[in-house]
Amino acid sequence: MIKVLDSFVADKIAAGEVIERPVSAVKELVENSIDAGAGSIIVEIRKGGKSYIRVTDDGCGISFDEAETAFLRHATSKITGITDLDNIVSLGFRGEALASISAVSRLTMVTRRAEDISGVKLVLHGGRVVTKERTGCNTGTTVIVEDLFYNTPARRKFMKTDAREASSIIELIQQYAVCYAGIRFMMINNGMTLFSTNGDGDPYAVISLLYPSLAKNGLLPVSSSSVKGYVSDPGSTMSTRKGQLFFVNGRLVSSAVIEKGLEEGYQGRIFSGFPAAVLFIEAEPCDIDVNIHPGKQEIRFLRQDDVRSGIAEAVSKAVMTGAGVPKGFVKKIESDAEKQLNVDVQQKKETGSAEQTSIREFLKNLEERDSHKESREIPESVEDPEIKMASAVAEEPELLYTPLSSQAKAAPEPVRIPAPFDFAELTYKGYIFNTYIIMQGSDEVYIFDQHAAHERVFYEKFMRGYNNSAHSPQPVLTAFTINVSNDVYSMSGEWLGDLVRMGYDIEDFGDCTFIVRGIPPYMSLSEAEGFARGYAEAVGETGGINRVVVDKLITKSCKSAVKAHDVLSEQEITDLMSELAKCDNPYSCPHGRPTFIRISSYDIERSFRRK
């Protein structure tokens, strides 16, 4: 039942529903359709939504008697009292959207409940009912918004170009389609169907269809009780956060807390950029406040730390697996992926012929690229699903109606259930360039960087030793000296004490030299020597330290602890592997670079065009 909230409750809904652009109207209408339990939602726009917006659903519909009430301010069927505000399970709750949209447009609503013989058609101009009549129609609701802001010229000025407005709307519908994979969405722009999803409930299929670049390298499934979704492997990052979609209780949100949790989940394995992630987070409605933003895009978590650590833990489980090991040859693919995302996001959303040309151009480039493949080191498969996707848009829009399950099959990498990475399964296959160790797993080859691996092993050994063991120096047979530059020498007050605390017996020997008579018990002689030197120099570089940067300095100094271009014996390789296997995070060096990469037998076969 749609009722007008009393003024006390209404006042609590402080944020107010603001329709400032066509996309805000579309968002409210689509949210209403979702709240109405729709299984199918069709969104059609013309001229970026400025002249025409139509949202059609097969949801519960509205009765003849209540049709007008829905347009009153603070009229809602979703909450009744003040306590409900703390327990919002629907997307809408303010009862303001239809009132706000109808006030600034010419609006037509056609709606029928399943149990009614006939439906109702209601026309409002500037919020005033012009006609109300019974009509035959399908179950569900269609809302048509024409000439948005026709009576508010000031608002009209703030709208962007048709293409930009269309772009925002299409992006929004793509996001909802991913979040509500169980609902069939169809997006029509200027008479052209851009995409439709089949509502079979598989978000990965929708991601593959609408964001092929995200799915291209294969996303890792995240699954904990409150966090589900997909994240990219640490090697496939993007330069912006465009590849991050967060949904809390079915609501698309931007949230620094979630971003932080996501980042933490990678445990320092992101070398640069931002991981791609589509996360569905479930929270108790009473633990979030969704009423802090006019567009409801931001929410407040009442228990931020729990949310953050819950996300970090779930992401970490997904990433710290064999599937999370960065793929070899990823560089080229990665930059293509980013380019492609921009094509997805920008060009697909431009209007009419502009879109056609740009995608054709894009295809032409791809073709040219393909014809040069022979000369490329690692050819990519001709069976590129993105190429298929783009051609579908450019030439045969109806192709997009093919069942999503077949689209999903075209996704390059099937969703895998992550298994913990097992070093014991690897066999040693070789050693190349005096730097890289080749190990073979059941279906993949792994290439380890001995330096990165050493750094990781040393870093963890060091941190463990530093935290757990007594810091009394272990005497060395022959004392050694360390020479530093003048500036580092003059700053010895800054770093000498640290080394002593770490377990060095070290003393000023005059003339820019220090003598070391004892080393920390958890280091070998060469490690201790390299580390002391690296630490002193690192302090010199940063020009002084405080407690906060000590960890960074240690990280940096690890590098010097590992001798460059050491040729390792097979025994040393075996030792290194078993030490790495014992690390908490064997996947990346302390600087975030991968310690090893993987190349699947599939990738190799593909490169030889066997697949």
Which residues sit at the interface with ligand ADP, rule CB under 6 A?
2, 28, 32-33, 35-36, 57, 59-62, 70, 75-78, 92-99, 141
Pick one of Mg ion, ligand ADP, none as the site partner of residue 328 (Cβ within 5 to 8 A by kind).
none
Which one of Mg ion, ligand ADP, none interacts with residue 141, CB within 5 to 8 A by kind? Answer: ligand ADP
CB contact set of 609 (below 8 Å; sequence gap of 6+): 379
Closest distance between ligand ADP and the C-beta of residue 10, in Å? 11
Whether the CA torsion 159, 161, 165, 166 is positive or negative: it is positive
Q: Which stretch binds Mg ion (CB under 5 A): 29-37, 191-199, 449-457, 474-482?
A: 29-37
Residues 39 and 141: their CA atoms lie apart, in Å, by: 12
Residue 198's contacts (CB-CB under 8 Å, 6 or more residues apart) are 184, 205, 403, 404, 405
Shortest Cβ 32–Mg ion spacing (Å) = 4
| Nearest-approach distance from CB 82 to ligand ADP, in angstroms | 15
Work out how close the CB of 419 gets to ligand ADP at its nearest, in angstroms, rounded to a whole number.
44
**Phi, then psi, of 57 in degrees rounded to 5:** -130, 170
Among candidate residues 449, 415, 385, the one with its CA nearest the CA of residue 211: 385
Nearer to ligand ADP, 36 or 561 (CB): 36
Residues 6+ apart with CB under 8 A from 413: 215, 217, 218
Q: Which is nearer to ligand ADP, 72 or 491 (CB)?
A: 72
Positions 383 through 442 that interact with Mg ion (CB under 5 A): none
For residue 89, the tally of other CB atoms under 10 A from its CB is 12
Residue 384 binds which entry of Mg ion, ligand ADP, none, CB below 5-8 Å type-dependent: none
Closest distance of CB 68 from ligand ADP, Å: 10
Structure tokens at 579: 């030490």
Residue 77: name its binding partner from Mg ion, ligand ADP, none (Cβ under 5 to 8 Å by kind): ligand ADP
**Residue 35 or 444 having the CB closest to ligand ADP:** 35
Partner that binds at residue 576, options Mg ion, ligand ADP, none, CB closer than 5 to 8 Å by kind: none
Residues in the chain: 611
Nearer to Mg ion, 31 or 355 (CB): 31
What are the strands of the beta sheet with 244-248, ordered from one edge? Answer: 220-223, 227-231, 277-281, 244-248, 251-253
Number of residues that bind Mg ion (CB under 5 A): 3
Query: Which residue of the chain is nearest Mg ion when measured via CB?
Result: 92
Handedness of CA 76, 82, 83, 89 (dihedral sign): positive
Q: Cβ 141 to ligand ADP, closest distance in Å?
A: 4
**Shortest distance in whole angstroms from residue 29 CB to ligand ADP:** 7
Q: Which of 38, 274, 323, 44 is nearest to 170 (CA)?
A: 44
Residue 123 CB, nearest distance to Mg ion (Å)? 20
Q: How far is the C-alpha of 547 from the C-alpha of 45, rounded, in Å?
A: 57
Please, which residue, 94 or 121, has the CB nearer to ligand ADP? 94
CA distance 487 to 424: 48
**Helix or strand or coil: residue 447?**
strand
Residue whose CB is less far from ligand ADP, 249 or 588: 249
Is 265 within 8 Å of 303 (Cβ atoms)? no
467 phi/psi in degrees, rounded to 5: -80, -35
- Residue number with CB closer to Mg ion (97 or 283): 97
Among 24, 32, 102, 560, binds Mg ion (CB under 5 A): 32
Could you tell me the smallest distance in angstroms from the CB atom of residue 44 to Mg ion?
A: 19
- Under the binding rule (CB under 5 A), the answer on residue 97 touching Mg ion is yes
57 binds, among Mg ion, ligand ADP, none (CB under 5 to 8 A by kind): ligand ADP
Bridge partners of 221, per DSSP, are 230
DSSP code per residue over 174-241 = HHHHHHTTTSEEEEEETTEEEEE----S-HHHHHHHH-HHHHHT-PEEEE-SSEEEEE--TT--BSSG
Of residues 173 and 341, the one with the C-beta less far from ligand ADP: 173
Selection from 54, 26, 25, 61 nearest residue 138 by Cα? 61
Instruction: Choose from ligand ADP, Mg ion, none: what does 96 bind? Cβ within 5-8 Å by kind.
Output: ligand ADP
Residue nearest ligand ADP by beta-carbon distance: 92
Amino acid in position 179: C
Of 35 and 505, the one with the shorter C-beta distance to ligand ADP is 35
Task: Please say whether the beta carbons of 299 and 290 come within 8 A.
Answer: yes
CB 513 within 8 A of CB 481: yes
Nearer to Mg ion among residue 32 and residue 316 (C-beta): 32
Task: Indicate which of Mg ion, ligand ADP, none lies near residue 94 (CB less than 5 to 8 Å, by partner kind).
Answer: ligand ADP
Binding residue (CB under 5 A) for Mg ion from 48, 61, 92, 441: 92
**Shortest Cβ distance from residue 141 to Mg ion (Å)?**
12
Least separation in angstroms between CB 143 and Mg ion = 11
- Please give the residue ranges that form the binding site for Mg ion (CB under 5 A): 32, 92, 97
